[in-house]
Amino acid sequence: MKALLERLHELGYADGDNMMFEYRSADGRPERLTPLAMDLVRAKPDILIAGFGTLTAQALKASTTSLPIVFTNLGDPVGAGLVASLSHPGGNVTGLTDQATELQGKRLQLLENLIPGEPVIAVLMNPDTSFTALAVRDVRAAAEAAHIRLDVLEARTADEVSVKMVAASKAGASGVLVLEDPLTFAIRLKIADLAAKLRLPAVYGYREFAGPAG
């Protein structure tokens, strides 16, 4: 939002002057997204902006077929069913993608290069997030091609993340690949700290996992 507001200011727009923002946050609780999206739609804004994560954009799309929706950063909007294609999104939804699902295989290769011998890579994911379900498919394909053993850790809460990571380490995991979503990003410093304590080399999707966001 900081970058968006700065750019809008450069274009002559100012919140509270010639435009107005209405903010809603699910506070890391996906079950709140749908009622929050419906609440915003009822306010009949000129445009809806979906924050981080596929679930946010999906909640808005399910709430309206007429109001324009712009998502800020998704890993695979086509695979998630939000747009028809990158070149011709169609409908009332558009936005930015980092095509992150395609990068997961490369990140797996980077992690493999850090670990001697035959590594066992733990893949930390939230199965309730559409992006991670798509991304883990690409990770499995890359692992199969490179003959890398995977241990997929499904976690839906912060407590589950800790339990699964500790269990994976005890079971012989030699590294961890973290698939980014609102859950893992919200507890990114906790994950990075735990990986360090467990002496697990780790690869993340965003640099903020290595320290506080600037």
Domain residue ranges in the chain: 2-98, 101-210
Mean pLDDT over residues 49-55, rounded? 85
**Topology alike, domains 2-98 and 101-210:** yes
- Quote the mean pLDDT of the chain: 89
Span 156-211, pLDDT tens digits: 999 999 999 999 999 999 999 999 888 898 899 999 999 999 999 999 988 888 87
Task: Give the per-residue pLDDT at 77.
Answer: 84
Mean pLDDT over residues 21-37, rounded? 88
Q: Percentage of the chain with pLDDT > 90?
A: 52
Residue with the larger pLDDT of the pair 30 and 149: 149
Task: Give the per-residue pLDDT at 180.
Answer: 86
Task: Give the per-residue pLDDT at 101.
Answer: 63
Above 90 in pLDDT, residue 1? no
Q: How far apart are CA 101 and CA 127, in angstroms?
A: 15
Domain 101-210 listed as CATH 3.40.1190.20: no
Under 8 Å between Cβ of 149 and 178: no
DSSP annotation of 65? S
Q: How far apart are CA 95 and CA 103, in angstroms?
A: 19
Mean pLDDT over residues 96-103, rounded? 72
2-98 belongs to which CATH class? alpha beta
